[in-house]
């Protein structure tokens, strides 16, 4: 158990809909990263938050947004969903220390039908 919790584990929704994925980081970790993993694109970095503030942005679509709340949990919002958004979405957390690895959740598998 990495200590990072993601909910839900599975999500099936229709095109055009909006969903919210939730992540609770490891206790004490201030930083949360979101990744999308699909068969054709591999592991893609989406966005990072540190202590409530956006720190880095990767290949995140404008239809997607995220935030980190005061209790440090994070949510990834995906709207106007398309079939191509079907993927595994991972959350990871890390501390500020350079020699500390990032810890990954088990992921949320999103299927858009």
Partner 1 sequence: AQSVTQLGSHVSVSEGALVLLRCNYSSSVPPYLFWYVQYPNQGLQLLLKYTSAATLVKGINGFEAEFKKSETSFHLTKPSAHMSDAAEYFCAVSEGFNKFYFGSGTKLNVKP
Residues that bind partner 1 (CB under 8 A): 2, 30-31, 33, 35, 42-43, 45, 48, 50, 55-56, 90, 92, 94-102, 104-107
Kindly give the residue spans of alpha helices, DSSP state H, lying in the chain: none
Give the residue among 27, 28, 41, 25 at the shortest CA–CA distance from 75.
25
In the complex, the smallest distance separating the C-beta of residue 11 from partner 1, rounded to whole angstroms, is: 15
Closer to partner 1 by CB, 10 or 14: give it.
10
Closer to partner 1 by CB, 12 or 63: give it.
12
Closer to partner 1 by CB, 64 or 90: give it.
90
Closer to partner 1 by CB, 68 or 85: give it.
68
Give the residue among 54, 67, 75 at the shortest CA–CA distance from 7.
75
In the complex, the smallest distance separating the C-beta of residue 37 from partner 1, rounded to whole angstroms, is: 8
In the complex, the smallest distance separating the C-beta of residue 102 from partner 1, rounded to whole angstroms, is: 5
Residue 2 · residue 99 · CB < 8 Å: no
Q: Residue 2: is it exposed, middle or buried by C-beta count within 10 angstroms (0-12/13-18/19+)?
A: middle
């Amino acid at each position: 158990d990495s200590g990072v919790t993601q909910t839900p584990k599975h999500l099936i929704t229709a095109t055009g809909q909006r969903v919210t994925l939730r992540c609770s980081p490891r206790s004490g970790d201030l930083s949360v990263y979101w990744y999308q993993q699909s068969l054709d694109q591999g592991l893609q970095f989406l966005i990072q938050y540190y202590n409530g503030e956006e720190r880095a942005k990767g290949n995140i679509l404008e239809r997607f947004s995220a935030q980190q709340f005061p209790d440090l949990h994070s949510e990834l919002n995906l709207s106007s969903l398309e079939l191509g958004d079907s993927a595994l979405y991972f959350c990871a957390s890390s501390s500020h220390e350079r020699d500390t690895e990032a810890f990954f959740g088990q992921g949320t598998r999103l299927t858009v039908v």
